[in-house]
Each structure stands twice: as structure tokens, then as C-alpha cells.
Amino acid sequence: DQQVKQNSPSLSVQEGRISILNCDYTNSMFDYFLWYKKYPAEGPTFLISISSIKDKNEDGRFTVFLNKSAKHLSLHIVPSQPGDSAVYFCAASGLTGTASKLTFGTGTRLQVTL
């Protein structure tokens, strides 16, 4: 039962252009949505998050959009840089009982080319 889905395993974008990574979820009880970035042989690092009561959150080159009715969120990176090449994980969180834990998607590998 994959509650958080990233249907594109990979994406290639030219440097300077916009990267758009997509994520769908099924559980309407999720309260927060996050994006994590992961380099090989390292742990995931937090990028940006959004509360379910908002539809947009921006932080520098990174913007996350949330469409609750479609149960869809996306991460926009503009302009894309070679250092952005990594695996991006979408994650969702909902306070269940006393535990706040993340449910991750399977990841999208972004390759930013020169």
C-alpha cells in the first residue's frame, strides 16, 4: 500500500531551466508534506515543507505547491544547477497517536546537465 507515490523514477533537465518533480498521495489525513534530497551514500537532507492548510511555500530556488483536492504536490527548482543532481524524496506526515513519522515516496533521480 503505497500512500505516497512518485511516478517518475528519473528526470533530466538542462542547467538554468526549471525542474518539476511530482508526488501524489492517497491518505487525506496527512498534515504536512516535505521534500528531502539525497546524495549517494549519504542520508536524506531536508529541503522544504508545506502544511496542508497552505497551497504554496517558497524558499529561494525551491517552491512546493500543494493541490489538496487532487492529492498532489510538486517541487519546482528554478534555476536548476548541476549541484541539484540527486534523488528527491517526497514525504508526508500526520500526527497519529503520539508519533509523528514520515511516509516516503520511492524517489525521483534528478540529473541536471550542462
Partner 1 sequence: NAGVMQNPRHLVRRRGQEARLRCSPMKGHSHVYWYRQLPEEGLKFMVYLQKENIIDESGMPKERFSAEFPKEGPSILRIQQVVRGDSAAYFCASSPSLTGANTGELFFGEGSRLTVL
CA 20 from chain center: how many Å?
10
Helix (H, G, I), strand (E, B) or coil at 82: helix
Among 18, 29, 78, 95, binds partner 1 (CB under 8 A): 95
Amino acid residing at 15: E
Size of the site for partner 1 (CB under 8 A): 29
Q: Of the two residues 13 and 87, which places its CB atom closer to partner 1 in the complex?
A: 87
Among 11, 20, 22, 48, binds partner 1 (CB under 8 A): 48
DSSP annotation of 84 reads G
Instruction: Give CA–CA dist 100/74, Å, rounded.
Output: 22
Query: Quick check: 27 binds partner 1 (CB under 8 A)?
Result: no
Q: How far is the CB of 97 from partner 1 (least distance, A)?
A: 7
C-alpha distance from residue 28 to each of 15, 46, 89 (Å): 35, 22, 19
DSSP annotation of 1 reads -
Q: How far is the CB of 105 from partner 1 (least distance, A)?
A: 5
Q: How far is the CB of 112 from partner 1 (least distance, A)?
A: 21
Q: For binding to partner 1 (CB under 8 A), which residues are involved?
A: 4, 6, 31-32, 34, 41-49, 89, 93, 95-107
